[in-house]
A and B are shown apart, each in its own frame.
Chain A
Amino acid sequence: MSPTRAPVPPPPARTARQLREATSSARRRHRPDADLNPLRQGLRLERVPDPCSFVLFGATGDLAHRKVIPAIYQLWRTNLLPAEFSIVAVARRPYTDEAFGAEVRASVEANSRVQPVDEAAWAELAKRITYQQLDFGDDAGFDRLSERLDALDAERGTAGNRLFYLATQPSQVTEIVRQLGRVGLDHEMRGSGWRRVVVEKPFGRDYESARRLNHEVAKVFRESQVYRIDHYLGKETVRNLLVFRFGNGIFEPVWNRSYVDHVQITVAESLGVESRGAFYEETGASRDILQNHLLQLMTLVAMEPPSSFHADALRDQKLQVLRAIATPDVEHVRHDVVRGQYGSGWAQGAAAPGYREEPEVDPESETETYVAGRFTIEDWRWSGVPFYLRAGKRLPERTTEIAIQFKEVPLPLFRESTGDPAPNVLAMRIQPDEGIMLRFAAKVPGLGLDVRTVNMDFDYGTSFSVDSPDAYETLILDALLGDASLFTRADEVEAAWAVVTPIIEGWAAMPAPRFPNYAAGTWGPEAADELMERDGRRWRRI
């Protein structure tokens, strides 16, 4: 029998916030098994969220109209939302409920992935949408919002559960969160329902600003109430990556430094900055893609198996990867990270302007529209395996792919063959044409011993001809259900910035390359190819 040890009492709670946290964690720890609902066993995964109000800040903006509201409509149409549901659309412009309803109806028609719009379903959802004009600095306005939500609880049975979705400019996040805290809309008192806040990227613009933002949000909401969206994590193939790695036994034995030569992750966009010139001038490819999408994909490839698919088990493992990435120093930035900016050229059969000629872009801009880098993970599994990451705009095609290239066979027996067997590659296409490709060598039928490399394709579109949900549908439903697995935690955000900030600072300290340094419609600057060639490798032809 093991000796009994007296439990160490936690430090006394000093503030109301600490008291709340202490109480809720104690409840979690001591919840007896008898409290579990036996009727839940065996039910399907599509659990319908609790009755709730969905408060959409920035409701008149582009993100709300193109992504958020069509996703909610789709969830409603497929009966994945509760009947006791209301949407409170919040923005600064004056609208009546009717005028706003007409506008979002048009957005759903334009952006819904399933057409035509289901009239009956839309009519029911439209009844649940109300609009509230609100200046985010207006105290009285937030008081009115709070009262309105209370009234909706009574009218619609939404039970005090509220999800605040901040589809706003990043600069407005702190103010909205502060106001929500001021009027007590963050409080999860016993029996009064849950409160969650969804924050869109970017989460800061460097390590320090990310820490400050996290700190401001944490003054009001507990970390468990905060859902930071990186929509890439909601994509079907990204989620399938977890299934592929941890639902199949055969890959785990070769998923390490003994068998993997290197990993390439590409996020290529064929478009330029379009109408987002001003935004892009402030971000660039490093902040826009590398800090979040690319590093998130890298963590999913490199992470150790989590002990479960609970949010924190998964995120703990991703965090370990981010913390194990060798922090770039100035020499590393100089040699192993490449930045580029597109000039004019021809992309997909049409003349394309250079970045500096785009609207709202400084004609002397030194913002990078392309970034490529060689990163290493200092742990037992990946030590010595380079991860090559690249992202850029105005590349020849839009594609996102993760490719694991395996080492060559130790003794090349078929050197005399007419074909040269290439190393095995396992490529996971995230978009478009989501799927998985395995490249291997096969004998060409005949009397000789000719070997040819063949690609075996698994294509979601042809194998399962059903529509995958949009990433926003997945993520909004998860947030309503309280499942944070696919959302980024504060410490993850900071760890990712700890990788990218030295690169940005390193670039600031050294002279910029002669921009533009690649033509629109090409695969990036020559320096990116040289980066690979120095290691005796080359970028995959995608």
Chain B
Amino acid sequence: MAPNLRPPEVLHSVPEIERALAHIWADATTHRGDGEHHVAARSSVLNLVVVAGRRETAERCAATIEATAGRHPSRSLILSALDDESRPGLDATIRTVAVATAAGGTPQTGAETIYVTVHGQTSHHLASIIVPLLVHDLPVALWWPRDPQFNSHRADRLLPIADRLIVDGSSWSGDGLDRLGAMALVTQGRRLVVADFALLRQARWREALASVYDLPDLRPHLRAIRSITVEFAAPEGGDPTGLTNVVRPVYHVAWLASRLGMSVVEPMRRLPDGRRVAALRQGNHVVAAEWRPVCSDLGEGSTVRVEIASRLSGAELVGEVTAGDRTVEVAIDDKGRERVRRTYLAPRLGEVDLLERALEDSASDSVAAEALAMAGNLIAAEPTPRRAVVGAVERHRSRDHD
């Protein structure tokens, strides 16, 4: 794959952008040596709209998108809204990524990225720029990489355009729960697939857990869970301010609860020692959920360990899942006697992997939607003081850990 080397022309209106795109595609039609006239088959698979905000975020997203272009040839629109007092308008450039055939044939346009920086009042009307630039009849993925404002005019205008919303809950400011709750509410009842990197990062944990419970003698225990404990990395091991982002730990419990047919009896609450607890119901027994902050080398909010305890017909199993950079370990003990220990080769996912998964996960897959809905239920009754401090402090967090 090679970038188009023509210097980018700066465009200042949507019609100018449209004309430039038409020229690019006209150039891609070829006449080959066989004397036949070949029409380049455009194989764009989606429109990818990025609401980047800051320029550095836009650049990071662009690099990620370019790395996925081979698998997801798309029209990408990366919008930086300056939201300043300057004259309304936009500056746009187009970058095409041409792909040469393995046999060294004529390169064709494989993907195109339109960078748009909007100024002044125009930044309040992003949808009016996005809609005319979408490739007709292709799905629209809306990637909102930083702190999306779900209860805003911008969200009201952008979300109806999208078929898929891509966010990273683990990068949100504060504990992230306000936004998680808002996202659960705002997406309810919409035909909108939500792909949250925070949940996608846990795919390897889920794969490992699912594989262990494939064993026929362990599977019945999935109907007899008594407690779920998630340990997560927090400052000083205790999360004294309650501002550690806990979106990932919440998703662990939400996914298990939604898959195993649990309902929320008592929503999550934070205890003075930094732990958070909730109560769920599975069948006719109660399942205790606990999120425990611990000291760890991992980035704040990363899951350190998941423990699942079950009791069935005299057997009391404790399943423990931990993960390293390249592996996930699962061990199942029965009253101290090891029943199973498995190691799964599953490296941590980078942002390119996460974006690819976010774009590929099936639109009809209900697992993520049900996990998000369950997360919304779990955090529904958080006390008000927490909300007051959310967003007050922005701290450095690593986004590269589960």
Contacts and interface: CB of A to CB of B under 8 A. Distances in A.
Interface of A: 34-35, 37-44, 47-48, 51, 79, 81-84, 157, 432-433, 452-459, 461-466
Nearest to A435: B41
Contact of A79 (B73, B346, B357): B346
Nearest to B28: A462
B368 interface: yes
Contact of B101 (A38, A455, A461): A461
B312 interface: no
A51 B36 CA distance: 53
Contacts of B101: 433, 459, 461-462
A44 B210 contact: no
A459 to B, nearest CB: 6
Contact of A37 (B110, B219, B261): B219
B13 to A, nearest CB: 28
B347 A79 contact: yes
Given A459-B108, A462-B108, 17 more contacts: A39-B209, A39-B256, A44-B203, A47-B211, A51-B342, A82-B342, A432-B102, A432-B103, A452-B37, A458-B41, A459-B41, A462-B99, A462-B105, A464-B70, A464-B73, A465-B1, A466-B71
B103 A463 contact: no
B367 A41 contact: yes
B344 A461 contact: no
Contacts of A463: 41, 43, 73, 99, 110
A461 B1 CA distance: 10
Nearest to A434: B102
A42 B368 contact: yes
Contacts of A432: 102-103
Contacts of B210: 37, 39-40, 43
Contacts of B256: 39
10 contacts: A35-B216, A37-B214, A42-B365, A43-B210, A44-B207, A44-B357, A48-B344, A453-B36, A457-B38, A459-B41
B4 interface: no
Interface residues of B, number: 51
B345 A466 contact: no
Contact of A461 (B99, B327, B341, B345): B99
A242 to B, nearest CB: 18
Contact of A35 (B219, B261, B342): B219
Nearest to A51: B342
Given A37-B210, A38-B259, A463-B73, A83 B344 contact: yes
A7 to B, nearest CB: 25
Contacts of B365: 42
A464 B37 contact: no
A82 B260 contact: no
Interface string B187-213: 000000000000000010011011101
A457 B103 contact: no
Nearest to B103: A433
A83 B345 contact: yes
Interface string B332-351: 00000000011111110000
Nearest to A452: B37
Contacts of B286: none
B345 A79 contact: yes
Nearest to A85: B345
B2 to A, nearest CB: 10
A97 B105 CA distance: 45
A84 B37 contact: no
B76 to A, nearest CB: 16
B345 A38 contact: no
Contacts of B313: none
A43 B40 contact: no
B69 interface: yes
Interface string B96-126: 0001111101011010000000000000000
B26 interface: no
Interface string B16-54: 000000000000000000001111110100000000000
The list of the 5 closest CB pairs from A to B, nearest first, reads: A42-B367, A463-B43, A465-B70, A39-B210, A83-B343
Contacts of A38: 222, 259-261
A537 B298 CA distance: 69
A95 B68 CA distance: 44
Nearest to A463: B43
Contact of B343 (A39, A84, A454, A462): A84
Contacts of B39: 454-457
Nearest to A49: B211
B384 interface: no
A42 B110 contact: no
A82 B344 contact: yes
Interface string B163-174: 000000000000
B284 interface: no
Given A37-B210, A464-B73, A465-B70, A82 B38 contact: no
A81 B344 CA distance: 9
B366 interface: yes
A20 to B, nearest CB: 17
A401 to B, nearest CB: 14
Contacts of B357: 44
A79 B73 CA distance: 25
B344 A454 contact: no
B255 to A, nearest CB: 9
Contacts of A40: 210, 214
A43 B105 CA distance: 38
Interface string B283-322: 0000000000000000000000000000000000000000
Contacts of B260: 38-39
Contacts of B259: 38-39, 41
A37 B38 contact: no
A79 B368 CA distance: 24
Contacts of A462: 43, 99-101, 105, 107-108, 110
Nearest to B203: A44
* Residue from B102, B206, B346 with most neighbouring chain A CB atoms (10 Å): B102
Contacts of A37: 210, 213-214, 219, 222
B99 A465 contact: yes
Contacts of A81: 345
Contact of B70 (A452, A454, A466): A466
B196 to A, nearest CB: 14
Contacts of B346: 79
Contacts of A47: 207, 211
Interface string B245-272: 0000000000010011100000000000
Nearest to B211: A48
Contacts of A458: 41, 43
Contacts of A35: 216, 219
Given A79-B347, A455-B36, A465 B69 contact: yes
A251 to B, nearest CB: 16
A461 B73 CA distance: 12
A455 B101 CA distance: 17
A30 B86 CA distance: 71
Contacts of B69: 465
Given A432-B103, A458-B43, A39 B1 contact: no
Contact of A454 (B37, B107, B108, B207): B37
Nearest to B101: A461
Contacts of B223: 34
A462 B260 CA distance: 43
A47 B99 CA distance: 31
A84 B211 CA distance: 13
